[in-house]
Amino acid sequence: MQKVIVERLGGPSELRLVEAPDPTPGPGEVLIAVRASGCNFFDALIIAGRYQVRPEPPFGPGAEVAGEVAAVGVGVTRVAPGDRVLAILGYGGYASHVVVPEGAVWEIPAAMPFDQAAALPIVYQTSYFALQWRAALEAGESLVVHAAAGGVGLAAVQLGRAMGATVYGTAGSDDKCALACEHGAVAAWNYRHTDWAAEVAAATGGRGADVIYDSVGGDVFERSLKCIAFGGRLLVIGFASGHIPTVAANRILLKNIAVVGLHWGAYQQHDPGRIDQAMRALFALYERGAIKPLVSVTRPLAEAEQALVSLHSRDTVGKVVLVS
């Protein structure tokens, strides 16, 4: 088998494609012949040693894969050899074969291509948890999605539309704004050239947005407080800007707003049943055409470095996927 590893912590240039013995599944485990591996922003952080998951080198990045079941260990009943599946793992997904616990594997819809399957788990799970359970988004409410052309952003736009919300977006270019509108936003604003907080206020008749989905942090978080509705919910998803914001509690009190965090990965430990529930809901939405992962770039495993560089530079939209 082939796998991408980092032998010492650092940037994407430390990644190496190596040959390794084929793994064997143990009891309760599934061996997957990987056809596609999803790339995420945090993959670059884990190889730099700046993520909450900190394996010792050598190890490989990659937390989501799709492919075919090659073999199963004793006691596995969830899937069988030949099944088309996706899986979520802590790391090591940039490989031609992976072994994953049975509970982290799901059979995918028959019509779902492997690249879309690998692009779905983390960004759509994150956005579904945030909008459905943390913000309790309701039909008819207004939703603003920041970084609306990225992986989690586009997932949030599509899911917000599927839930019946009026969706608005912000992004860093006019092309990205147009893409957000193609996927369900009724309007999107270039945050580099537009006072988007004023635009949100105007678009909502001065009321502000009921829910704001912020994966950026920094100044975006601060300005979001200016255009959130009375009783609104501000979702803290991440800090792609590199700046972790703070908020004076009196601002939360005066507008009766809720600042709601979502660390999706923590549910794997604290409430894994929710992940299974969300995955089945996402498959149902996919099968009825309500959501569709956008894969903008595919590269072979040997080009994992270039994939992460393009992702980290924010030159891409949707998801970047490695194929093997």
What are the residue boundaries of the structural domains of the chain, listed by start?
2-120+294-323, 123-265
Give the pLDDT of residue 41: 87
> Which CATH number applies to 2-120+294-323: 1.10.10.10, 3.40.1050.10, 3.50.50.60, 3.90.180.10?
3.90.180.10
CATH dotted code for 123-265: 3.40.50.720
Give the pLDDT of residue 314: 72
Region at 53 (left for phi over 0; alpha for psi -120 to 50; beta for the rest) = beta
Give the pLDDT of residue 315: 73
Helical ranges in the chain per DSSP H? 41-47, 114-119, 121-128, 151-162, 174-182, 196-203, 218-224, 249-254, 267-270, 272-287, 304-312
Closest CA to 155 of 130, 135, 173: 130
Low-confidence ranges of the chain (pLDDT < 50): none
Please report, to the nearest 10 degrees, the dihedral formed by the alpha carbons of residues 218, 221, 225, 231 taken in order. Answer: -150
Give the pLDDT of residue 110: 95
Give the pLDDT of residue 141: 98
Q: Would you say the CATH fold of 123-265 matches that of 2-120+294-323?
A: no
Angle between helices 121-128 and 151-162 (to 10 degrees): 50
